[in-house]
Structure 1
Amino acid sequence: MRDFAERSVEQARKAFEGFLSVAQRTAGAAGDVTGQGGVKSVAAQVLSYTEQNANAAFDVATKLVRAKDPQEIFAVQSEYLKSQIAALQTQAQELGAAFQKGLIPGKQ
């Protein structure tokens, strides 16, 4: 059962990586067509954060599958929540700065 769960997590990770690759190419092409460098930069940053957050979720899923008891599950979930809250706060601040810098005329 554990092997099946681990394989499922790994398959989901690979599928997401394929999706992300397509999304990155599409965002790059859209930025080239519109000629809006600020939008392209913010889109690339959002995709980067999406990749980081998804990888963190896949990592925690793998750890949860391998957990040996409820205490370990709780510890893994608690650490994940702490690290994701910190990451999301940082990402929100950086995106706010990027929007101000890249999307408001005269702030580049």
Structure 2
Amino acid sequence: MSTTQPSFEIPAEMRDFAEKSVEQARSALTSFIQNARKAADSLQTSTKTAELPASVAFSRGLAFTEQNVTAAFDLAQKLVRARDVQEAVQLQSDYVRTQFAALQTQAKELTSAVQPNKA
């Protein structure tokens, strides 16, 4: 009995379409985050709250959001290019491991940003 699994190939046109869609979504979301950052910076400047712990945490939160969105889009682009299911599963596994570590670091940093300095 043969244990050869059938090969599943995604047509190049579909792969190209998916890759372009991921890039368009990345561009739109990056633009949105940049506009949110500009609005927040403008508000903090006009209200002179840029150094308050909540403002610092908000700014760091935006930066973390941008990092996490970038990582997710990087994964999406890699998944679009994956040759088979095994490679896609490995990419997903690597992403989860990396993002878990990043989220732990980000949580620690946000926690320290909102805590008052002890001098």
Q: Same fold (TM over 0.5)?
A: yes
For residues 107 and 99 of structure 1, what CA distance do their matches in structure 2 show?
12
Q: How many positions carry a matched residue from both structures?
A: 104
For residues 17 and 85 of structure 1, what CA distance do their matches in structure 2 show?
22
For residues 41 and 92 of structure 1, what CA distance do their matches in structure 2 show?
14
Aligned residues of 2:22 and 2:77 also touching (Cα < 8 A): yes
Aligned residues of 1:28 and 1:40 also touching (Cα < 8 A): no
Partner of 1:7: 20
Give the letter aligned to residue 30 of structure 1: L
Residue 109 of structure 2 is aligned with which of 94, 100, 103? Answer: 94
Q: Secondary structure at the match of 2:83?
A: coil
Aligned residues of 1:5 and 1:65 also touching (Cα < 8 A): yes
For residues 79 and 16 of structure 1, what CA distance do their matches in structure 2 show?
23
Larger Rg: 2
Whether 1:35 and 2:56 are equivalent positions in the alignment is: no
TM-score (norm 1): 0.90
Runs of 4+ in 1 over 6 A off after TM superposition: none
Partner of 1:69: 84
Aligned residues of 2:56 and 2:114 also touching (Cα < 8 A): no
Structure 1 residue 77 displacement after superposition:
0.3
Task: Give ranges in structure 2 of 5+ residues lacking alignment.
Answer: 1-13
Give the letter aligned to residue 35 of structure 2: V
TM-score (norm 2): 0.82
Give the letter aligned to residue 72 of structure 2: A
Partner of 1:49: 64
